[in-house]
Amino acid sequence: MRTPRIHTHQTLSPDSTLSLEEGPARHLIQVLRLKADAPVILFNGDGHDYQGVIISLGKRQVDIAISERGAQESAACLAIHLGLGISKGERMDFAIQKSVELGVTEITPLVSERCVVRISDERMQKRIQHWQNILIAACEQSGRRRLPMLHAPLKLQDWINKREAQQHNLLLDHRSSDTLASLSPPESGTCLLVGPEGGLSEEEIASAKREGFHGVQLGPRVLRTETAPLAAIAAMQALWGDFR
C-alpha cells in the first residue's frame, strides 16, 4: 500500500511529535482507517515532505512522530498562471484538480460575460474553500510539496488589467492560426486564459488581445472548457517545462 500523504497547516519539523489538526486526523481515522505504527507522509507547503509514524489514535486525535524531513522541491521550471472562466460544478472541479496535477502554479477563477454559473458573495466563499480542498487533495495525490496559489475570483477585465507581465500571455482561441509549438520558449512565466462553457465573447477576446494576449489554437478540434486548459498545460510542459 502506498504511504498516505497528508497536508496540514501545522508547523512541521524532524525529530518531533504533534497532534494532527482535526480535518486531516478525521481523514486518517474515518476514511483511511489507519492504525498505530502506520507510516504517513506530512507536508505543509514549505517544499518538504516529512516522514512520520502514527504513535496513537483516539476517536478524534492522531499523534504522529516525525522522523525526518525530505529534500526540498525545486521551483517550477515553467510558472503557469491559469485564468479560468468559472464553469458548472464538476467541470470546474475537474479542471482545477487536473491542472494542479499537471503543474500549474497559480489559478484565478474568472467571471466573464458568458459564465453560466452565477454565485452569490456568501456562496462564493464556500466555493473558494471547496476549490482549495480540491487543490490540496491533488497535491496529496501527485506528490507536490508546494501548494499552487488559488486567487479569489475576479471579473475577467480586472484580471487582465492586474496580471503581471509575462513573456507569453496566451488566450485559447480555436480560430487562431498560431500554435504553442510556433512560439519561442518563454524565459519567464506564462499566463493562460481559458473561457467558460460558452467561451469568451468577441469583445472579451478583443480586449485581451489589446492588453497583449496572443491567441493560440490546440488543433482542429473544439475542446470542452474542462479539457482545453489541461491540453494546453500538458503541451506547454512538453514544449518548455518539466515533461521534457
CATH code at position 59: 2.40.240.20
Q: Helices 89-101 and 228-240: crossing angle, nearest 10°?
A: 10
Same structural domain for residues 17 and 101? no
Q: Is the dihedral of CA 191, 196, 198, 202 positive or negative?
A: negative
Residue 236 CA to residue 77 CA, distance in Å, equals 11
The string over 122-143, giving b where at least 16 C-beta atoms fall within 10 Å of a residue's C-beta and e elsewhere, is eeeeebbeebeebbbebbbeee
Domain assignment present for residue 74? The answer is no
Query: Grid coordinates in use for 226?
Result: 474542462
Beta bridge mates, 19? 63
Same structural domain for residues 88 and 38? no
pLDDT of residue 147: 97
62-69 β-sheet, strand order: 5-7, 39-43, 50-57, 62-69, 16-19
Least confident of 145-149, 160-164, 178-182: 160-164
Same structural domain for residues 194 and 97? yes
Domain assignment present for residue 42? The answer is yes
Domain assignment present for residue 75? The answer is no
Domain assignment present for residue 149? The answer is yes
Instruction: Report CA-CA distances (Å) from 44 to 2, 11, 74, 132.
Output: 19, 7, 15, 14
Same structural domain for residues 92 and 59? no
- Report the number of distinct structural domains present in the chain: 2
pLDDT of residue 183: 93
Same structural domain for residues 94 and 32? no
pLDDT bracket for residue 66 (50, 70, 90): very high
Same structural domain for residues 31 and 144? no
Contacts with 78 (C-beta within 8 Å, 6 or more apart), sequence order: 103, 186, 189, 190, 236, 237, 240, 241, 242
pLDDT of residue 162: 84
Residue pLDDT, tens place only, 19-52: 999 999 999 999 999 999 999 999 999 999 999 9
Same structural domain for residues 190 and 93? yes
Alpha carbon 55 to chain centroid, angstroms? 32
Looking at residue 12, its amino acid is L
Domain assignment of residue 229, given as a range: 80-240
pLDDT of residue 119: 73
Q: What is the CATH number of the domain that holds 126?
A: 3.40.1280.10
Domain assignment present for residue 11? The answer is yes
Instruction: Report CA-CA distances (Å) from 32 to 21, 49, 158.
Output: 16, 19, 42
Same structural domain for residues 186 and 214? yes
Choosing from 69, 88, 118, the residue where a domain stops is 69
Residue pLDDT, tens place only, 46-63: 999 999 999 999 888 999
Smallest CA-to-CA distance from 18 within 42, 49, 48, 47 is with 42
Same structural domain for residues 103 and 215? yes
Choosing from 27, 46, 69, the residue where a domain stops is 69
Helices (H), 143-227: 156-162, 202-210
- pTM (2 d.p.): 0.93
Residue pLDDT, tens place only, 78-98: 999 999 999 987 999 999 999
Residue pLDDT, tens place only, 188-210: 889 999 999 889 999 999 999 99
Size of the chain, expressed as the number of residues it contains: 244
Same structural domain for residues 104 and 224? yes
